[in-house]
Structure 1
Amino acid sequence: MNVTRLVNFICIIVGGVVAFYAQAQEEKNTYILIGGIMLLVFGIYRTSRNIPSKFDKEEESFVKTEKEDEI
């Protein structure tokens, strides 16, 4: 497994656990909850950044376009 992917998954897991822990306490600490959510979103963002878009692929068509000659 790639090191950056491992860091991303660790951020997601730790952020989720911290956010869940901060929410589950009787006396909720808002700053810990925000920090956990930020770490979770940071890991998700870094993971989704490496997923290619389905619109990046150029579809081949039967009609080929020709470049216009410069006049």
Structure 2
Amino acid sequence: MKYLNYIFIVLGAVVAIYAKTGTEQNQYILIGGIVILMIGIYRISKTIPSKDEDDLNKDEN
């Protein structure tokens, strides 16, 4: 499951870059690539613990 997030990021970036390179830019493909990229980034950011939670736990001990 962890690798799925990285696949989303790479796939989204490739699709967005591909849509941007042509002389006829397809806006829907570009938006789709950006959405896939953002889904991957969001899923990874959910797994990163909050810094504030670490500070709260230190204060309680």
Instruction: Tell me if both proteins adopt one fold, taking TM over 0.5 as the criterion.
Output: yes
The CA distance in 1 between the partners of 2:45 and 2:24, in whole Å, is 34
Unaligned runs of 5+ in 2: none
Gaps of 5+ in 1: 65-71
TM-score of the pair, normalised by structure 1: 0.77
Paired-residue identity, % = 47
User: In terms of Rg, which structure is larger?
Assistant: 1
Hey, which of these two has a bigger chunk of helix by percent?
Answer: 2
TM, length-normalised to structure 2: 0.89
Matching residue of 2:45 = 48
What's the RMSD between the two structures over aligned residues? Answer: 1.5
| Higher RCO structure (Cα 8 Å, ≥6 apart) | 2
Structure 1 consecutive aligned stretches of length 4 or more whose deviation exceeds 6 Å: none
Aligned partner of 1:9 in structure 2 is: 6
